[in-house]
Amino acid sequence: MNKNSKKLITADDPGWYKDAVIYQLHIRSFFDSNNNGIGDINGVTAKLGYLESLGVTAVWLLPFYPSPLKDDGYDIADYYGIHPDYGTLNDFKRFLREAHLRGMKVITELVLNHTSDRHEWFQKSRNAPKGSPWRDYYVWSDTPDKYNGVRIIFQDFETSNWSWDPVAKAYFWHRFYSHQPDLNFDNPQVRKEMFKVIDYWMEMGVDGMRLDAVPYLLERDGTNCENLPETYDFLRQLRSHLDKKFKNRMLLAEANQWPEDAVAYFGKGDICHMAFNFPLMPRMFMALQMEDWFPIVDIYEQIPPIPEECQWAIFLRNHDELTLEMVTDEERDYMYKVYAHDHTARINLGIRRRLAPLLNNSRRRIEILSLLLFSLPGTPVIYYGDEIGMGDNYYLGDRNGVRTPMQWTGDRNAGFSTANPQKIFLPVIIDPDYHYHSINTENQEKSLSSLLWWIRRIIAMRKQHKAFSRGGIKFLHCENQAVLAFVRRFRG
């Protein structure tokens, strides 16, 4: 067992998330224990030893709830269950127990903003008469002209934030796909339901929750329906409820916003413990390509200070597109030009590629960005497979190209499953440069010069110095624009 992880994160440390190294994985993509072609919870449990040897101290699981899986599980049909493809509630409780025995925290998803249109609440809502309590669970309108001018987030797939429902004979509001109706957070009953959901999983032993799409919880005429004061008020209530009932738990805000708006999700230390640093992420890629420290230093100068007990989560890649919403139009054009000249790699306002292909499989470039990930202020989040330089397949549609099976060995189906290859939920990567025969954990375990071993050493180095996880940062001015230099300092 990795002694560092035990020493670094203890059960009684309320700030455990500051020192964490978070590993993000999709249960479906990680390891198939029953060989039906789909990864499952028991598969993740079986691979906890691998995560521990990597130096991971917290595992973030993408949604595993019952769902039609039209949006990879973010379209939830039941907040209290486990999708049968992934296993049972007992499997999940065993996973929690095993992770905790290894000193690892478990972070799950709470998709607050919307449900699937298959959810029992939506079915009751669309069949209920106007003005009734059930109708009030979602946002309905007789006209699609309400909240005009609000941006469409999935602009490659949707033409409006309203969709007509023939059963309700009314329009329902959705900030994402039209099969994901938005819940009505002006309804106190909806808020109570969300408190019950968070209680259910926290009582089971979950350590933290990523709050999906939090800027869009409420709607008001004459606004862009993002970052509203009422949204912060609700999240403050949620945090207060959590703190009263549970000890040392964490809320992580997914708020893809400009720095001054993103910082508001910390409140005065009374809203979320953590938030993703979306403005920083694309600028790390820009700085690398331009060979210029300016994009990184410039964005840090725009980020207001955050409360002492709060922490940024920083990342290079994740399960979505490399989002370019928080850059200027000129910067977006530059990023497309240098990182996605093939238009097929673009989606919505972003690029659907993994880390290694974005960087043309250059080991040095992967190392430079990884060093920034592990040394800039914040808690690093590693996306599964990036520690071995996995490739992608953006011809699979939507963001599925970065969600393919983890590559464990050079055997059939990359060691992910022994099922018939036609049964695998997504095809494994066979691009010659990233083929699972050569890019897999088994090969890299054997070679001390591999990317996997290099990442292990960097994580171990980070854990030795609290300055990386809790210290301040001071950038040093360099005459040479290609040199980024900074000092991290913690208590002298």
Domains of the chain: 3-111+191-489 (3.20.20.80), 120-173 (3.90.400.10)
In angstroms, the CA 56 to CA 458 distance is 12
In angstroms, the CA 371 to CA 219 distance is 40
pLDDT of the residue at 4 = 46
In angstroms, the CA 354 to CA 388 distance is 11
Backbone φ, ψ for residue 182 (5° rounding) = -80, 135
pLDDT of the residue at 12 = 77
Alpha helices in 32-73 (DSSP H): 41-46, 48-54
pLDDT tens profile 264-289: 999 999 999 999 999 999 999 999 99
Sheet holding 350-351, edge to edge: 322-323, 350-351, 346-347
Q: Please, are residues 108 and 61 in contact by the beta-carbon 8 Å criterion?
A: yes
Rounded mean pLDDT, 460-479: 95
**Core vs surface per residue 122-142: b (16+ CB within 10 A) or e:** beebbebeeeeebbbbbbbee
**Core vs surface per residue 313-341: b (16+ CB within 10 A) or e:** bbbbbbbbbbbbbbbeeeebebbbeebbe
* Predicted model pTM: 0.95
Helix (H, G, I), strand (E, B) or coil at 235: helix
388: nearest Cα among 405, 375, 412, 400: 405
When the pLDDT of each residue in the chain is averaged and rounded to a whole number, the result is 95
Q: Please, are residues 107 and 252 in contact by the beta-carbon 8 Å criterion?
A: yes
pLDDT tens profile 368-418: 999 999 999 999 999 999 999 999 999 998 899 999 999 999 999 999 999
pLDDT of the residue at 325 = 86
Q: How far is CA 118 from CA 27, 70, 78, 198, 379, in A?
A: 22, 11, 9, 21, 36
pLDDT of the residue at 96 = 98
Rounded mean pLDDT, 42-54: 98
Is the pLDDT at 6 greater than 60? The verdict is: no
Q: Where are the beta strands (DSSP E) in 82-213?
A: 105-111, 140-141, 162-165, 170-173, 208-212
Q: How far is CA 377 from CA 135, 305, 473, 489, in A?
A: 45, 12, 7, 11
pLDDT of the residue at 1 = 47
Q: Where are the beta strands (DSSP E) in 187-320?
A: 208-212, 250-253, 274-276, 311-315
Backbone angle region of 295, left / alpha / beta, with phi > 0 → left and psi within -120 to 50 → alpha = alpha
Based on DSSP, count helices (H) and strands (E) in the chain, helices before strands.
18, 16
Is the pLDDT at 262 greater than 70? The verdict is: yes
The catalytic residue positions are 212, 254
Backbone φ, ψ for residue 375 (5° rounding) = -120, -15
In angstroms, the CA 73 to CA 68 distance is 7
pLDDT bucket at 155, cuts 50 / 70 / 90: confident
pLDDT of the residue at 11 = 56
Residue 164 bridge partners (DSSP):
171
Burial of 257 (0-12, 13-18, 19+ CB in 10 A): buried
Q: Which two tokens stand for residue 330?
A: 């000129």
pLDDT tens profile 166-210: 999 999 999 999 999 999 999 999 999 999 999 999 999 999 999
Rounded mean pLDDT, 23-27: 98
Helix (H, G, I), strand (E, B) or coil at 170: strand
- In the chain, the percentage of residues whose pLDDT exceeds 70 is 98
Rounded mean pLDDT, 86-100: 98
Q: Which two tokens stand for residue 133?
A: 């309590």
- Alpha-carbon Rg for the chain, nearest whole angstrom, is 22
Q: How far is CA 155 from CA 112, 150, 385, 441, 467, in A?
A: 21, 12, 28, 37, 41
- In the chain, the percentage of residues whose pLDDT exceeds 90 is 92
Helix (H, G, I), strand (E, B) or coil at 424: coil
Is the pLDDT at 341 greater than 60? The verdict is: yes
pLDDT of the residue at 326 = 85
Q: Which two tokens stand for residue 279?
A: 């403005």
Is the pLDDT at 7 greater than 80? The verdict is: no
Instruction: Please name the residue that has the structure tokens 């549609």.
Output: 397
